A and B are shown apart, each in its own frame.
Chain A
Amino acid sequence: MSRMKLVLVGNGMAGIRTLEELLKAAPEQYDITVFGDEPHPNYNRIMLSPVLAGEQTVEQIILNGRDWYAAHGITLHTGKRVVKIDRTRRVVEADDGDGGKIIAGYDRLLLATGSKPFILPVPGADLEGVVGFRDIADVERMIEASTSHRHAVVIGGGLLGLEAANGLKARGMEVSVVHIAPWLLERQLDEPAARLLQQSLEAKGLKFLLEKQTAEILPASLSPSPSPEGGGEQRVGALRFKDGTEVPADLVVMAVGIRPNTALAESAGLLCNRGLVVTDTLQSATDPRIYAVGECVSHRGVAYGLVAPLFEQAKVCANHLAEHGVARYQGSLTSTKLKVTGIDLFSAGDFMGGQDTESLVFSDAAAGTYKKLVIKDNKLVGACIYGDTIDGTWYFDLLREGTDISQFRKTILFGQHHLGDSGHGPAERVAALPDTAEICGCNGVCKGTIVAAIRDLKLFTLDEVKAHTKASASCGSCTGLVEAVLAHTVGGNYSAAPSKKPLCKCTEHSHDDVIAAIRDQELKSMDAVFQALEWSTPDGCATCRPAVNYYLLARWPAEYQDDAQSRFINERAHGNIQKDGSFSVVPRMWGGLTNPRELRAIADVAEKFKVPEVKVTGGQRIDLFGVKKEDLPAMWKDLSDAGFVSGHAYGKALRTVKTCVGSQWCRFGTQDSTGLGVKLEQLTWGSWMPHKFKLAVSGCPRNCAEATIKDFGVVCVESGYELHVGGNGGIKVRVTDLLCRVETEAQVMEYCGAYTQLYREEAHYLERTAPWVERVGLNHIKAKIVDDAAGRAALYERFKFGQQFAQIDPWKERAEGTAAHEFQPIRIVANPVPA
């Protein structure tokens, strides 16, 4: 069988990323040929600024060396420009640089021709010393100029222009930045933020000429008087503006924007409109054999210039080239978080605002901090931050998720106080941290290790950093910091996560997509889900299987058969695995109440099975540590005979209801908190949840049961009961929000069941109630639980229906022989065999 031929035109980041994704998905499918008009293999274009500034070398920014192409059998033509596509014969024709031609035939053609700097059409634009800022050749010209000339003028006060100016200044030139708009970075910043930026850049020695329009570029000998030579290889000498003023210039860098490079596509008759027009499958609208990715592309009218969207396109395009045919590119929401000469900026969305929006502004010019948040209909629609950008990713999440912010509108400007920062505190900027600062406390990863990995292994995304360094791979609380280190190190055009987060690497679909499909398409088995949603793996992975198993169980409690092999070991063995492979056992004690008979039974069990350690837990239960797995069923039988059921201390499930002594004994108690706790635990035990779920009932506002850091907390008062939701201790302590007040115990039970069911139906697997409440907003929960009596009753009914199937004690079942193979090893005494 002969392989199909794939030709890639454009040897840059988007095209090569597509090949990398393709080689992962279908390594044997194509004979691949790559044409690039630059003489270099694929390099990291984002890092041109550090090269210009002398912080890195060209060799350091090469992403794929020539050995990579060779190792994958890819034919590479560098320094060869493709000049013609013959779509009828399906061949491309390249200029070999010596007057000859290179011809390559294709079955599929991938165009990734990128973009070109826009050169102002003014007289003198073709003079020697007028350059763009786009590729290694431009940078080499600029560095060369810096060694022999003095005055540099950068036209354009955008991202690229400021980075060029910074680099040239670092190379010792006098640099002026000319900008047509009234303030710098007008596409990323509003005026007050831009003024702060300008001040700090001026302090570094840069000069700014704002609201200046370039009229003409003058050759050295024509300035001030006309030269007799004229034309040819004359060097630039000055710049003249429309208002008649002039500045000296030995080097002019044009950084006024980029244009999609579509000349080749247009000559081949492909539809172009400010970019090569592509479909959601990244095929040319004109010729489906031709794919295109990167800056040359126009998708739904948008051309992207940041890395993250291009990589999303690469992934989708590779999926189709590999003929899996399931992925769709639906556009990207981008944010800019960048580092210009040691200054942190972040902006996203509609940060200017308009007539129908409101703005919240925090400004401290002396400290160099400015924050502006734009709000519309109680949702964040734009953000512009200068100075302390640690909360940028949080704001971007709020913006992307469309979270209702009305509950924390008063404090939103001060940032996410409990943003994961491993205790470094938001004030401590990532840039200022020493290399030895520990970023990830779980896995002991310090900043220097992360930075080295990003540089040496050429990492771009949070997932890649996680895989290679393990930073933020465990509890995830340092994710914000790791992302900040990534943004700081990659600098330039780093942009945050993709618009939609897939559930795992087996699928393009998000948690919400899967939940909706299981509900709407009535999918009732794991295989049905994998088929309907076109999973890329035959039986999923350790991330998606437990999630899908939970979603099926939560939606179809009567019909779906729980899949033990899709459960994490703790839930499969109904005990907590410890670091030595032994297990711990926690019997349920309703509301934390016990009695001498129960305590005696636990003591007997502990002695009989030689339990090495017995401890009281934070949730008012007794924990037996160090139990061998094969002893578990026998131990459970004894506990079961004494009346105990599983405490589910090991599960994504209802854990405990913590109580104080309440009105029966306490002189302050207002209601029977212990009795209510027992009733709540009897209602909710055995229920599987997206994550662990804890309750508490306090008998008075002194709150001895710590009900305000629980997933659902009840605080008794004289007139009834306060219901609190969405709290937790742990990594990020979050105090609950007050849901409402009710008058009777029966109401507490109904509200509790309904709220629990809403969480079970809507939250993402492994999302605790605290982040869930923050994501959907308290108003959403109030609307469903407090305001809608019929909806609340229906949720409560669904919860109770599911409990019929959930409240079967797993310990008793296993003590009676269920899943015996799980607990019993096969023991073999082998006869000594001759070697």
Chain B
Amino acid sequence: MNDWIPIASLEDIPRQGCRIVELEHDDMLNRIAVFRTVTDHIHAVRDKCPHRGGPLSQGIVHGGQVTCPLHSWKIDLASGEAVLPDKGCARTYATKVEGGRVYLRVAQA
């Protein structure tokens, strides 16, 4: 089953930065934050902080985490989990990089 969606080339996403992917899918608009870490790992997380819905895409990326711009919660990008002692989880999506292209999978569970 090939449901990988090509979204951008790796260079389109700034290192230690993020691009928002607006995905229209079954009449639903999904805002997904696609992050690129300092080590060029790509992670996709729903662009909504589990705390008060802040746009994670706008935060500062450090190591494998992003700090939410509204109230400074730290979210682990790989798992979507808030870093302790905060508790909460943002939805994550599978990503892969092949031939310099970044792919995203929004598979239904």
Show the binding face of A for B, using Cβ within 8 Å.
Answer: 467-468, 473-474, 537-542, 545-546, 564-569, 572-573, 577, 579, 581, 821-822, 825-830, 832-835
Contact = CB atoms under 8 A, between A and B. Distances in A.
Contacts of A540: 62
Nearest to B109: A835
A473 B51 CA distance: 15
A577 B60 contact: no
A506 to B, nearest CB: 9
Contacts of A581: 54-55, 58
B58 A577 contact: yes
A827 to B, nearest CB: 5
A825 B19 contact: yes
B3 interface: yes
B24 interface: yes
A565 B14 contact: yes
Contacts of A474: 71
B23 interface: yes
A539 B16 contact: yes
Contact of B67 (A468, A541, A833, A835): A541
Contacts of B21: 825-828
Give chain B's interface residue range (CB within 8 Å of chain A).
35 or more
B63 A539 contact: yes
Contacts of A546: 60
A822 B58 CA distance: 9
Nearest to A579: B70
B5 interface: yes
Contacts of A569: 58-59, 69
Contacts of B3: 833
Contact of A828 (B16, B23, B70): B23
A821 B19 contact: yes
Contact of B62 (A542, A564, A833, A834): A542
Contact of A542 (B19, B59, B108): B59
Contacts of A832: 25-26
A468 B86 CA distance: 7
B17 A826 contact: no
B62 A539 contact: yes
Contacts of A833: 3
A826 B16 contact: no
B19 A468 contact: no
B85 A467 contact: yes
Given A467-B85, A542-B60, A829 B24 contact: yes
Interface string B1-44: 10101011000111111011111111000010010001100000
Most buried by B among A468, A473, A537, A825: A825
Nearest to B66: A542
A830 B69 contact: no
Given A565-B17, A827-B22, 8 more contacts: A474-B71, A537-B63, A542-B59, A569-B59, A581-B54, A826-B8, A826-B22, A830-B23
B89 interface: no
A825 B29 CA distance: 13
A379 to B, nearest CB: 35
Contacts of B17: 564-565
A537 B20 contact: no
A545 B19 contact: no
Nearest to B72: A542
A413 B21 CA distance: 59
B38 A545 contact: no
B60 A828 contact: no
A830 B5 contact: yes
B20 A826 contact: yes
Contact of A821 (B12, B23, B55, B107): B12
A571 to B, nearest CB: 11
B97 interface: no
30 contacts: A473-B72, A474-B71, A538-B63, A539-B62, A540-B62, A542-B59, A542-B62, A542-B67, A565-B15, A565-B17, A565-B60, A565-B61, A566-B60, A567-B60, A568-B60, A568-B69, A569-B59, A577-B58, A577-B70, A579-B70, A821-B13, A821-B14, A825-B20, A826-B19, A828-B5, A828-B7, A828-B21, A828-B23, A830-B5, A830-B23
A833 to B, nearest CB: 5
Contacts of B59: 542, 569
B78 interface: no
Interface of B: 1, 3, 5, 7-8, 12-17, 19-26, 31, 34, 38-39, 54-55, 58-63, 67, 69-72, 74, 85, 106-108
Nearest to B2: A833
Contact of A826 (B1, B7, B67): B7
Contacts of A825: 19-22, 31
B4 to A, nearest CB: 10
Contacts of B16: 539, 565-566
A629 to B, nearest CB: 8
A572 to B, nearest CB: 8
B57 to A, nearest CB: 9
Nearest to B106: A830
A78 B24 CA distance: 62
Contacts of A473: 72
B107 to A, nearest CB: 8
Nearest to B48: A581
A835 B12 CA distance: 29
Nearest to A544: B62
Most chain B CB neighbours (cut-off 10 Å) among A566, A567, A822, A830: A830
Contacts of A830: 5, 23-25, 106
Nearest to B37: A539
B40 to A, nearest CB: 12
A468 B61 CA distance: 22
A4 B71 CA distance: 41
A573 B63 contact: no
Contacts of B34: 826
A825 B12 CA distance: 11
A543 to B, nearest CB: 9
A467 B71 CA distance: 12
A653 B95 CA distance: 38
A607 to B, nearest CB: 26
A745 to B, nearest CB: 41
A530 to B, nearest CB: 11
Contacts of B107: 835
Contacts of B31: 825
A462 to B, nearest CB: 15
Contacts of B22: 825-828
Contacts of B55: 577, 581
Nearest to B84: A467
Nearest to B36: A565
Nearest to A567: B60
A538 B38 contact: yes
- Nearest 9 Cβ contacts at the A-B interface: A542-B67, A565-B16, A825-B20, A569-B58, A542-B60, A539-B38, A835-B108, A829-B24, A581-B55
Contacts of A564: 14, 17
Nearest to B74: A542
A311 B7 CA distance: 49
A619 to B, nearest CB: 23
A444 to B, nearest CB: 12
Contacts of B38: 538-539
Which of B13, B34, B71 is most buried by chain A, counting CB atoms within 10 A of its CB?
B71
A822 to B, nearest CB: 8
Nearest to A578: B70
Q: Which of B15, B38, B61, B62 has the most CB of A within 10 A?
A: B62
A53 to B, nearest CB: 30
A635 B27 CA distance: 30
A577 B69 contact: yes
A202 to B, nearest CB: 44
Contacts of A545: 60, 62
A573 B55 CA distance: 13
Contacts of A822: 14
A829 B24 CA distance: 5
Contacts of A468: 85
A429 B58 CA distance: 41
